């Protein structure tokens, strides 16, 4: 085994900018996925049968198919010319991001729904009996309590997303796995590259998971 | 909560800038400062000596036989060159969808592919060879000795080598995956007994990884080789590419390119 490439700043640079891209993709997908995730979550909680069914089938469909299939499908449907923006090839970044957002929104919507349902029914009844309307109840009573359950679970989703983004290597988005293929081909050190990349992924996911555990504790004190 | 949001925003912005300055999958080659237009080449840079990533004067770029040819094509058109690096099986779809103008990726013009795109003349006739472990080379004296159910043979998925493996080794176990480096890794780990690749590619691995051996067996039709692909019906570009290839071959420059790139890959 020859790990000498780890000491070469050129290869390190490639790997670390790949790491940055991975983190960026995961962050964007969780942040915007959470915003989008509210839509199916509320649709599913609503009393309208149609909205409920639409949202339920959306979530089940997305959760029941692999991300790889979704990415490839969306990539083949979204036809964009090659445009470079700030050094990123948008023709593969946009379809890739879109697929990730759709995927993330389905998972996050379940997290949000779970968070909202975890708030005891008495809270809603009390708020309504105090004369608040539905909207006020949701915004001022239910959501602030639900957030405490949502945030830690979002952290786990973030960790999952960091790992899932490795799929984008196929589209040529320069994330960590793509960086690995570059290093692998240049150095002929295939096994060693994979070991280093595994360590880098772990360096990202382990502290994130720990950090989320800490947040969870903090938030549970505030109850 | 506001702190958290602003933290996330700050981190995102920072990462965005950081990763933009890093590498990406698009490489530009300026042929002449006066050219304003770009022609886009699609390739899959894990196939030395055809194309692979390399550090040239401190910057990451793609080099290889195909890149050199593409540069010549760009020059003949009076355009600068832009190269997009993707997975091999995306290349023809990208070409069909107009994401790239032409594809050079050590690609063999098979009948199936000809239905999808148009091919230029063959610019490089490459033999297909069988790469095995040095320790096992004596047990494989003929193609038949490899066609045994206890053996596992690999090739790149979607390649002509895959077709060859399916034709010749119908009894053996087969494994088709996307990346050639992974195939060779599995070969040297003894998870595969043989890998079918093109000779120049195999020689690159032979130089860089010890314990491998190229079998002295004939497989496939040596007339076959690599060609450039363009969108169906794009005869204009095809004519230019053919012209460039012809002049490269007749002037002997092609042999020089192939020699240089094979040498470059050996270090």
Distance of residue B74 Cα from the nearest chain A Cα, in angstroms: 17
Q: B60, A91: Cβ pair inside 8 Å?
A: no
Binned at pLDDT 50, 70 and 90, residue B20 comes out as: low
Binned at pLDDT 50, 70 and 90, residue B154 comes out as: very high
The full set of domain ranges for chain B reads 24-125+224-262, 128-214
Pairing of strands B102-103, B128-133: unpaired
Contacts of B119 (CB under 8 A, 6+ apart): B109, B113, B227, B228, B229, B230
More confident residue, B24 or B260: B260
Nearest Cβ partner for A181 among B1, B179, B208: B179
- Give the DSSP H or E segment for B84: strand B80-85
pLDDT at B68 over 70: yes
Q: B90, A178: Cβ pair inside 8 Å?
A: no
pLDDT at B21 over 60: no
DSSP 8-state code for residue A82:
-
Q: What pLDDT, on the 0 to 100 scale, is given for residue B267?
A: 61
- pLDDT means per 10 residues, chain A with 223 residues, are 80 87 88 90 89 93 92 84 73 87 93 92 91 90 88 87 87 86 84 91 90 80 58
Q: A190, B205: Cβ pair inside 8 Å?
A: no
Residue A60, classified by CB atoms within 10 Å of its CB into exposed (0-12), middle (13-18) or buried (19+), is: exposed
Total beta-carbon pairs less than 8 A apart between chain A and chain B: 122
Domains of chain A, each with CATH number or no CATH: 4-218 (1.10.3720.10)
Highest mean pLDDT among B88-97, B115-124, B210-219: B115-124
Pick the CATH number of B24-125+224-262 from 3.40.190.10, 3.40.50.1220, 3.40.710.10, 3.30.70.1230: 3.40.190.10
Its pTM stands at: 0.79
Pick the CATH number of B128-214 from 2.40.50.140, 3.10.20.30, 3.40.190.10, 3.40.50.150: 3.40.190.10
Q: B16, A179: Cβ pair inside 8 Å?
A: no
% of chain B residues with pLDDT over 70: 94
Alpha carbon distance A131, A51 (integer Å)? 27
Mean of all residue pLDDT scores within chain B: 86
With CA atoms as reference, report the closest residue to B132 among B142, B119, B120: B142
């Amino acid at each position: 085994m020859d790990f000498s490439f780890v000491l070469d700043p050129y290869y390190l640079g490639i790997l670390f900018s790949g790491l940055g891209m991975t983190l960026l993709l995961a962050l964007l997908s969780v942040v915007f996925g959470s915003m989008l995730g509210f839509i199916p979550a509320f649709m599913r909680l609503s009393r309208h049968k149609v909205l409920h069914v639409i949202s339920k089938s959306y979530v089940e469909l997305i959760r029941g198919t692999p991300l790889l299939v979704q990415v490839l499908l969306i990539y083949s449907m979204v036809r964009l010319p090659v445009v470079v923006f700030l050094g990123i090839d948008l023709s593969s970044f946009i379809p890739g991001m879109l697929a990730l957002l759709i995927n993330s929104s389905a998972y996050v919507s379940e997290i949000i729904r779970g968070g909202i349902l975890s708030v005891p029914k008495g809270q809603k009844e009390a708020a309504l009996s105090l004369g608040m309307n539905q909207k006020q109840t949701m915004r001022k009573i239910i959501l602030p309590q639900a957030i405490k359950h949502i945030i830690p679970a979002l952290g786990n989703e973030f960790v999952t997303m960091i790992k899932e983004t490795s799929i984008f290597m196929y589209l040529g988005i320069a994330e960590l796995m793509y960086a690995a293929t570059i290093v692998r081909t240049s150095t002929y050190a295939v096994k060693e590259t994979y070991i280093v990349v595994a360590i880098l992924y772990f360096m990202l996911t382990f502290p994130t998971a720990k950090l989320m555990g800490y947040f969870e504790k903090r938030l549970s004190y505030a109850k | 909560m506001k702190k958290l949001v602003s933290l996330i925003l700050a981190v995102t912005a920072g990462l965005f800038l950081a990763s933009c300055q890093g590498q990406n999958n698009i490489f530009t080659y300026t042929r002449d400062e006066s050219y304003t237009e770009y022609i886009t080449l699609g390739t899959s840079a894990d196939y030395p000596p055809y194309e692979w990533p390399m550090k040239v004067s401190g910057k990451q770029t793609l080099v290889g036989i195909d890149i050199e040819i593409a540069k010549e094509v760009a020059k003949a058109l009076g355009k600068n060159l832009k190269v997009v690096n993707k997975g091999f099986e995306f290349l023809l779809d990208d070409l069909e969808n107009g994401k790239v103008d032409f594809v050079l990726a050590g690609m063999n013009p098979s009948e199936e592919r000809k239905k999808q795109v148009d091919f230029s003349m063959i610019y490089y006739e490459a033999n297909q060879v069988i790469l095995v472990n040095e320790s096992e080379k004596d047990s494989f004296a003929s193609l038949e000795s490899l066609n045994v159910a206890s053996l596992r043979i690999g090739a790149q998925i979607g390649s002509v080598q895959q077709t060859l493996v399916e034709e010749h080794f119908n009894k053996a176990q087969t494994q088709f995956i996307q990346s050639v480096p992974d195939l060779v890794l599995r070969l040297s780990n003894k998870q595969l007994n043989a890998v079918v690749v093109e000779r120049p590619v195999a020689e690159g691995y032979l130089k860089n990884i010890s314990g491998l051996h190229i079998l002295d067996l004939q497989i496939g039709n040596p007339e076959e080789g690599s060609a450039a692909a363009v969108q169906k019906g794009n005869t204009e570009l095809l004519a230019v590419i053919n012209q460039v290839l012809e002049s490269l071959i007749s002037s002997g420059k092609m042999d020089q390119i192939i020699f240089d790139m094979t040498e470059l890959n050996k270090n």
